[in-house]
């Protein structure tokens, strides 16, 4: 589990730490030598709630038969409302539930056989609390996070963010929900308690002995890992029993790299009420949902007109995943369908979803109880102030980030991830609004090399952003049209899927906090292959 990078980093740690003041003035000093910053509780921070999260190796029941060895986070509330933490079955990390304005202190204790660090995906927290890989702690060490919940209500999540090992750590179990509520949301009286259901969709492969299988060759890394089994909340063949009333389902794509095209098998359209950064202004109706890694959508589903016994299936529909995607996927797919997987021989789900873009079952809903209720989906959900291009620092000259893949690396503006490697174009003035464009082969050749065009779910740390424009070279190309009706660019976002040949323009605020904030592809294999960089806000 130890890799060279971490051993290197360990050695560097032995050297002197640099004070926070010096860091602020000399950002170039922010490097691997300053790792110890802020892993102690501070006296002038008064938390409303204190939580401990301990990462440890555990054997848990995931499938029938032998237990599965996973990296499990165990949560505990040390001070404050106990309902802030729900420990989950299976490999999932505990669900954290907090309210806007609450101050939280989190002790991350690492009892795992590798250095690691957690990042609060979608939350607007100070740089030191953001889980930058340079803050990774070793086995036996504790990192103390302290921050206030500044975000509006929404479905956020958290996961490991270890240098070069994010994919492996998340795959092993280091990821969970982080749900934020606020007063505006509560006034809407949306379905709550057991009628508010977080659902994380992931894919995993298992050995015959029920152990997690991860890895593969160059092809696997170029595409990202595609597991043979679809897991929902850490469970295969997931079934959700429901009553005849309305539900709020919070969908998170927690997969390393798989993109889903979600649809109900009976053709019922989705009523979408929220996206990455919380509620939309009003519900949006879509025929299907294109959900890229790290993205969230919340849907309102009303089962009140269904008969008890009715079953509905949420499927991922077929789509065209791009030139190389199809070639690579096909080759790997044949290998997997050869019956090597745990269920390959049984003709179960294992067969279906080995390729990106195939049609397979994600979960089943079973109407199992009659109740009477009169749930009305509010016409208006929230107020979202549209960011204005005119308010940006660079309305005429977007910061362009080109996405490309070359040989064994995935690059941003031709660069690979490196700690302490801030370039001029990666420095952002504090309290500014920036126009940023992600160019996935829109200008020049697709993805940097012929036939290497690949979808990239691009994520920025820090504040949520707004998508203002999508431009695509081949608007009517099958690759694009097979997923584009499932995009939802309204509201606040922290991750946006950029298709091959596409350019996506966003407006992103950089308020409140100076320091390093990462931007990267959330295909975790791509991220680990270098498709990540830091922005320095100062």
Rule CB under 6 A: which residues touch ligand C2O?
Answer: 119, 121, 159, 161, 294, 459, 461, 518, 520, 522
- Binds 520, which of Cu ion, ligand C2O, none (CB < 5 to 8 A, cut-off by type)? ligand C2O
- Binds 521, which of ligand C2O, Cu ion, none (CB < 5 to 8 A, cut-off by type)? Cu ion
User: Closest CB to Cu ion among 121 and 306?
Assistant: 121
Nearest approach, Cβ of residue 518 and ligand C2O (Å): 5
Q: What are phi and psi of 334, to 5 degrees?
A: -60, -40
- Binds 470, which of Cu ion, ligand C2O, none (CB < 5 to 8 A, cut-off by type)? none
**Which residue(s) pair with 435 in the sheet?**
507
User: Closest CB to ligand C2O among 131 and 236?
Assistant: 131
State the residue for tokens 């203002």: 468
Nearest approach, Cβ of residue 117 and ligand C2O (Å): 11
User: Closest CB to Cu ion among 153 and 458?
Assistant: 458
The DSSP symbol for 8 reads H
Distance CA 403, CA 410 (A): 8
Nearest approach, Cβ of residue 446 and ligand C2O (Å): 25
User: Closest CB to ligand C2O among 243 and 537?
Assistant: 537
Distance CA 275, CA 321 (A): 23
- Binds 526, which of ligand C2O, Cu ion, none (CB < 5 to 8 A, cut-off by type)? Cu ion
The token pair that represents 222 in the structure block: 């170029």
Nearest approach, Cβ of residue 459 and ligand C2O (Å): 5
- Binds 294, which of ligand C2O, Cu ion, none (CB < 5 to 8 A, cut-off by type)? ligand C2O
User: Closest CB to ligand C2O among 472 and 498?
Assistant: 498
The token pair that represents 339 in the structure block: 């019956």
Give contact residues for Cu ion (rule: CB under 5 A): 121, 456, 461, 521, 523, 526
Nearest approach, Cβ of residue 462 and ligand C2O (Å): 10
CA proximity to 168, closest of 37, 2, 302? 2
Q: If 0-12 CB within 10 Å is exposed, 13-18 middle and 19+ buried, where does residue 391 land?
A: exposed
Distance CA 79, CA 47 (A): 9
**Which residue(s) pair with 231 in the sheet?**
202, 236
CA proximity to 531, closest of 450, 418, 399? 418
User: Closest CB to ligand C2O among 392 and 531?
Assistant: 531
Strand boundaries in 303-344, DSSP class E: 311-316
Count of helix runs (H) and strand runs (E) in the chain: 9, 32
The residue with its CB nearest to ligand C2O is 121
Distance CA 468, CA 448 (A): 24
- Binds 100, which of ligand C2O, Cu ion, none (CB < 5 to 8 A, cut-off by type)? none
Nearest approach, Cβ of residue 374 and ligand C2O (Å): 38
User: Closest CB to Cu ion among 306 and 526?
Assistant: 526
């Amino acid at each position: 589990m130890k890799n060279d990078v971490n051993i290197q980093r360990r050695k560097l740690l032995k050297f002197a730490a640099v004070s926070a003041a010096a860091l602020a003035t000399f950002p170039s000093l922010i490097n691997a030598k300053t790792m110890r910053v802020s892993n102690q509780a501070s006296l002038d921070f008064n938390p409303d709630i204190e939580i401990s999260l301990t990462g440890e190796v555990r054997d848990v029941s995931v499938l029938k038969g032998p237990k599965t060895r996973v990296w499990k986070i165990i949560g505990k509330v040390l001070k404050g409302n106990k309902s802030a933490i729900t420990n989950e079955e299976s490999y999932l990390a505990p669900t954290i539930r907090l309210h806007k304005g609450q101050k939280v202190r989190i002790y991350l204790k690492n009892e795992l056989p590798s250095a690691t660090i957690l990042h609060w995906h979608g939350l607007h927290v100070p740089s030191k609390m953001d889980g930058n890989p340079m803050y990774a702690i070793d086995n036996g060490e504790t990192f103390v996070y302290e921050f206030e919940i500044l975000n509006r209500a929404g479905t956020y999540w958290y996961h490991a963010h270890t240098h070069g090992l994010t994919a492996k750590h998340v795959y092993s179990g280091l990821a969970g929900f982080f749900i934020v509520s606020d007063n505006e949301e509560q006034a809407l009286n949306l379905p709550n308690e057991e009628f508010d259901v977080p659902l994380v969709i992931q894919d995993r492969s298992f050995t015959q002995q029920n152990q997690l299988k991860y890895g593969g060759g160059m092809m696997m890394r170029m595409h990202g890992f595609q597991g043979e089994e679809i897991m929902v909340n850490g469970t295969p063949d997931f079934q959700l029993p429901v009553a005849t009333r309305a539900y709020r389902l919070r969908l998170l794509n927690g997969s390393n790299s798989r993109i889903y095209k979600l649809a109900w098998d009976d053709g019922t359209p989705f009523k979408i009420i929220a996206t990455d950064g919380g509620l939309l202004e009003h519900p949006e109706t879509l025929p299907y949902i294109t959900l890229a890694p790290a993205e969230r959508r919340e849907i309102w589903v009303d089962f009140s007109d269904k008969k008890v016994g009715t079953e509905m299936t949420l499927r991922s529909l077929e789509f065209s995943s791009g030139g190389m995607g199809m070639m690579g996927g096909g080759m790997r797919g044949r290998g997997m369908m050869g019956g090597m997987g745990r269920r390959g021989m049984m003709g179960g789900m294992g067969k279906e979803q080995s390729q990106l873009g195939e049609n397979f079952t994600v979960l089943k809903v079973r109407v199992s109880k009659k109740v009477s209720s009169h749930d009305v989906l509010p016409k208006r959900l929230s107020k979202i102030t549209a960011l204005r291009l005119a308010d940006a620092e660079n309305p005429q000259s977007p910061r362009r980030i080109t996405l490309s893949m070359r040989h064994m690396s995935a690059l941003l503006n031709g660069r690979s991830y490196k700690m302490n490697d801030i370039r001029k174009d990666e420095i952002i003035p504090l309290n500014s609004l920036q126009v940023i464009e992600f160019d996935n082969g829109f200008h020049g050749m697709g993805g940097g090399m012929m036939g290497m065009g690949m979808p990239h779910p691009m994520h920025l740390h820090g504040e949520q952003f707004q998508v203002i424009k999508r431009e695509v070279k081949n608007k009517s190309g099958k690759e694009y049209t097979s997923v584009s009706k499932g995009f939802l660019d309204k509201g606040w976002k922290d991750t946006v899927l950029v298709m091959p040949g596409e350019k996506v323009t966003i407006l992103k605020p950089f308020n409140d906090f100076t320091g390093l904030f990462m931007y990267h592809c959330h295909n975790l294999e791509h991220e680990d292959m270098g498709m990540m960089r830091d922005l320095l806000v100062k």
